[in-house]
Amino acid sequence: MPMPHRTQQQVIKRRLRGKEGAERIRELRAILAELPGYRNGPYADLRKWVEGELTAARTRKRVVHRDSIAVRREGAAQIAFVGPPNAGKSSLLQALSAIQIRTGDYAFTTTRPVAATTRLGGVLVQLVEIPGLIEGAADDRGGGRALLGVLRNADAIVWCHACDRPVEELETIRDEVAAAGIELPALVAATKSDEAPAPTHPELRVVPVSVLDDASLDRLRHELWTLTGLLRVYLRDGGDPVALRPPATVLDVADTIHHELRNRCTGARIWGPSARFPGQQVGREHELRDGDTVDILDR
Ligand SMILES: Nc1nc2c(ncn2[C@@H]2O[C@H](COP(=O)(O)OP(=O)(O)OP(=O)(O)O)[C@@H](O)[C@H]2O)c(=O)[nH]1
Ligand SMILES: [Mg+2]
């Protein structure tokens, strides 16, 4: 008489604990061989569950298995797109940039971090899809440690969560990231908003978005810029704005143009949010705001 199937499942889970990759696959195969071959009833369900675990373990084994993966930083900030498999991370990245990535209606389409640069209000920002984070990632399940290492270097997180999925899926991944000690400014991109209403979140700002809806993508871009926490300062001569980490002064702007200019700078004329009136003359230490236009004055 075999033991009750519930007990059996617990025993199996214990046998699998801490086992990853080839080791997990070996153990799952051994378990399958030992299970009684009933065709229906609880034992048949248990067999199905073990077979499911085997498939998942095989998929994950193909997913990154390295201690560290490097993503070369580009642009003024790096924003990581994190979420359960199939949440629409690649599709979003593609819709927000010029990159071509594989997307698919199945889990683990993306197996390595994918980076793409995009302009947010004229400033170059890097978006990175962090693939394959699953329960247990903080304990290196599914090569989680390397992926979390990439995430640790980012400036902000966009939690990608499909509107038609239970919120618990996202919370599982947030727990893993928290367990890894990673705390970054974040928002939830409620993806596939054309399919279901966006959920609410007790802590995080939720931005509904669909790759089929350009207006929603524009709203997301706007939110992404705010998430970077950076300031955009325009130069009077024109051209792309300069991105600065606040607090930023006239001297900081001069410095990004040329180190020499920092020394020669005597102040600036400014237009925009931090100016009391258009063209106000200010000193070198004047603090700038997002959207200011600056004309550096030098000796
Ligand atoms: N209806 C709808 N479907 C979407 C949207 N965005 C993505 N999808 C679909 O969702 C599926 C998964 O998309 P991906 O972008 O590959 O998702 P992912 O999070 O990168 O998936 P993995 O890399 O496998 O973890 C694909 O079939 C997409 O076509 C959307 O805004 N609306
Ligand atoms: Mg993907």
The parent domain of residue 85 ranges over 78-228
Q: By the 8 A CB rule, do 225 and 243 touch?
A: no
Is there a domain that residue 133 lies in?
yes
Q: Which atom from ligand 1 is nearest to the alpha carbon of 107?
A: 24
Cα distances (angstroms) measured from residue 113 to each of 129, 145, 151, 229, 282: 5, 13, 10, 23, 44
Asked which of 32, 62, 92 is the last residue of a domain, the reply is 62
- Ligand having the closest approach to the CA of 160: 1
Is there a domain that residue 193 lies in?
yes
Supply the pLDDT for residue 140: 87
**Is any ligand 1 atom within 6 A of the Cβ of residue 87?**
yes
What is the phi/psi pair of residue 195, to 5°? Answer: -100, -30
Which helix (H) or strand (E) element contains residue 262?
helix 259-264
Query: Quick check: helix, strand or coil at residue 238?
Result: coil
Supply the pLDDT for residue 209: 98
Helices within 73-212 (DSSP H only): 89-96, 144-152, 167-179
Q: By the 8 A CB rule, do 131 and 103 touch?
A: no
Please report, in tens digits, the pLDDT of each residue of the chain (299 residues total). Answer: 557 778 888 889 899 888 877 888 889 999 998 888 788 888 888 898 899 888 888 776 665 445 567 788 999 999 999 998 899 999 999 999 977 777 777 666 677 898 999 999 889 999 999 987 888 888 888 888 889 999 999 999 999 999 999 999 999 999 999 999 999 999 999 999 999 999 999 999 999 999 999 999 999 999 999 999 999 999 998 888 999 999 999 999 999 989 899 999 999 999 999 999 999 999 999 999 999 999 999 98
What letter would DSSP give residue 19? Answer: -
Query: If you count DSSP H runs as helices and E runs as strands, how many of each does the chain have, helices first?
Result: 9, 11
In this structure, the answer to whether residues 217 and 237 fall within a common structural domain is no
Q: Which atom from ligand 1 is nearest to the alpha carbon of 209?
A: 31
Mutate to test the pocket of ligand 1, among 92, 103, 109 (most ligand atoms within 8 A of CB): 103
Supply the pLDDT for residue 1: 52
pTM for the structure as a whole:
0.76
In this structure, the answer to whether residues 83 and 48 fall within a common structural domain is no
Supply the pLDDT for residue 279: 97
Supply the pLDDT for residue 63: 56
In this structure, the answer to whether residues 221 and 111 fall within a common structural domain is yes
Q: Return the bridge partners of 244, or none.
A: 231
Asked which of 228, 243, 272 is the last residue of a domain, the reply is 228
Task: Find, among 248, 228, 232, the residue nearest to 293 by Cα.
Answer: 232
Give me the CATH number covering residue 212: 3.40.50.300
**Is any ligand 1 atom within 6 A of the Cβ of residue 212?**
yes
Give the integer Cα–Cα distance in Å for 26 and 14. Answer: 15
In this structure, the answer to whether residues 286 and 185 fall within a common structural domain is no
In this structure, the answer to whether residues 34 and 140 fall within a common structural domain is no
**Is any ligand 1 atom within 6 A of the Cβ of residue 211?**
yes
Supply the pLDDT for residue 188: 98
In this structure, the answer to whether residues 147 and 39 fall within a common structural domain is no
Residues with CB under 5 Å of ion ligand 2 are: 89-90, 109-110
Give the integer Cα–Cα distance in Å for 246 and 152. Answer: 21
Supply the pLDDT for residue 192: 98
Is residue 247 reached through a cis peptide bond, with omega within 30 degrees of 0 on the bond before it? Answer: yes
In this structure, the answer to whether residues 129 and 189 fall within a common structural domain is yes
In this structure, the answer to whether residues 58 and 9 fall within a common structural domain is yes
- The number of distinct structural domains making up the chain is 3
Supply the pLDDT for residue 61: 64
**Is any ligand 1 atom within 6 A of the Cβ of residue 104?**
yes
Exposure string (b/e) for 163-200, b if CB count within 10 Å is 16 or more? bebeeebbeebbebbeebebeeebbbbbbbbeeeebbe
Is there a domain that residue 72 lies in?
no
Asked which of 213, 228, 243 is the last residue of a domain, the reply is 228
